[in-house]
Amino acid sequence: MESTWIWDGNALDTSLLEKVNPVFQTAKMTLFQLAANGDRDAAVLAENMGLTLEATQNSATTTASPEQVLGGTIMLETRYQAMAQLAEESGFTLVDLPCGYTPRAISFAKKGLPYYGLDLPVVIREAAVQIPALIPPEQRSLVHFCEVDATNFASLDKALQAIEGSVCITTEGLLMYFTDSEAGMLCDNIRRILEKKGGCWYTADVESSLQYVITMRALVGDRFMEIMKNATQQTKDKSDVAIGKNALITKPADMAGSIQRAMMFLAQHGLKAERITVAEHMPELSSLSKVRPEQAASLQEGMKHCAFWKITPSASSPATELPSSETEGFSIRASMQNRTLALTLSGRLDTITAPNLLAFFERAQAQCPAKAVRVDCRHLDYISSAGLRVLLIIHKVCTDGVTMYDTNEVVNEILAQTGFDSILNISDGQ
């Protein structure tokens, strides 16, 4: 039996979206910290979503200490308030990528400012219901939520097509989950958006590790490494990806060298960056009321040494468009013979489309369980970490695993970067 199958993404069960993108759990951790710190809108959202300390701050292998929760809250409040201030001062339309479940849309709408929140489908389908309910009806038209894959230019371009004028793109808690390939694709996509609309990109992610070290050292002294390791494991557990494994994330042990590498990475993608010292935009933090005066002073002094980054297209930015970052669509052709499921994938296997593949596989398994899966990749343009996660799920289910063949140069590079070339079976041909 052979058939062509394309799934309407709106029909996907939420549990599939969660399996493909477990990183959304870290957004719930962020919301709970804002709520615990006294943000009223965040508190209402957290209560409506049934969030608890244990579920959001602990993971399968870690328990967050009070010091870890407090340090994370101080760091979160710092970047959350400062980035909102920078975006507002820019005078451009805010594009919050990823928006998570935070109530920033509410505060912007109340000020009469437009807001575009972009995130994974699993996040948007809940946030787009919960958050507008807390906004006065006459201001709801200012708020827009869109499902996107940050590596997919077509999805970003579609989400922002109604915006007239320049944009201010902000990223908090995104880059550390990307591979080099994904980070490069994001940079290409943001450059194209800024060249098309004008504006800038602010990110708190590049030097976030140093900011965390400074915060925790001010709170617990020499114990900061112990807590930082626990926090890193906690985030890894919840997101199910390696953390900070791309050239844009600086390393506290080599700040000068890693800043230079990050600048070079941006330049390779037609972008340039300006470092904006965190201390210069340090908001009044309610979370600092929970620490001793000398700890607050040490933390504020330390913030003179780390920065947010303001990124814009460079003068030498390439003018050509990059077709590899978009596709006309995603499709699956499938056939079964001798309990081997043969799949032909076309287009992009990414955050938006990966749940389709998982849904298809689970339906096929229910009808006729496969022992092996062979994936024809001749027409597969791109694969993201979400797509790789689905293939790993399939690989573990099938006795003889997953074999990919006829992969292109882009897909081969991603497999090598992520180590999946040693996990899945990779073949040159059928």
Tens-digit pLDDT profile for residues 264-300: 999 999 999 999 999 999 888 999 999 999 999 999 9
Given 3.20.20.210, 3.40.50.150, 3.40.50.300, 2.40.50.140, which CATH number is that of 17-313? 3.40.50.150
Provide the edge-to-edge strand list for the sheet that holds 372-383: 2-5, 331-337, 340-349, 372-383, 402-405, 425-427
Looking at residue 321, its pLDDT comes to 42
pLDDT of residue 139: 96
pLDDT at residue 172, rounded to an integer? 95
Q: Of the candidates 281, 280, 385, 375, which has an alpha carbon nearest to the alpha carbon of residue 334?
A: 375
Q: With CA atoms as reference, report the closest residue to 378 among 416, 407, 347.
A: 407
The pTM is what?
0.90
| CA pair distance 258, 278, nearest whole angstrom | 18
Separation of alpha carbons 109 and 88, rounded Å: 12
Radius of gyration of the chain (CA): 22
CATH fold of the domain at 327-427: Transcription Regulator spoIIAA (3.30.750)
Q: Give the per-residue pLDDT at 238.
A: 78
The residue that leads in pLDDT, 32 or 5, is 32
* Rounded (to 5) percent helix, strand, coil in the chain: 55, 20, 30
For residue 196, what are its two tokens? 């098309």
pLDDT in tens, 366-404: 888 999 999 999 999 999 989 999 999 999 999 999 999
- Find where tokens 């997101």 sit: 239
Instruction: Encode pLDDT of 200-255 as tens digits.
Output: 999 999 999 999 999 999 999 989 888 888 888 888 877 677 777 899 999 999 99
- Spatial separation of the C-alpha atoms in residues 177 and 205, rounded to whole Å: 10
Residue 422 has pLDDT above 80, yes or no: yes
Asked if the model's pLDDT at residue 322 lies above 50, the reply is no
- Mean pLDDT of the 144-161 span: 95
CB-CB contact of 26 with 51 (8 Å): no
Range of lowest pLDDT (150-164, 188-202, 412-426):
412-426
Residue type for position 62: T
Domain ranges (residues) in the chain: 17-313, 327-427
Task: Flag whether pLDDT at 13 surpasses 90.
Answer: no
State whether residue 136 is helix, strand or coil.
coil
For the segment 17-61, what is each residue's pLDDT rounded down to a tens digit? 778 878 888 899 999 999 988 999 999 999 999 999 898 988 889
> Which one-letter amino acid corresponds to residue 19?
K
Q: What is the mean pLDDT of residues 310-315?
A: 94
Report pLDDT for 74: 93
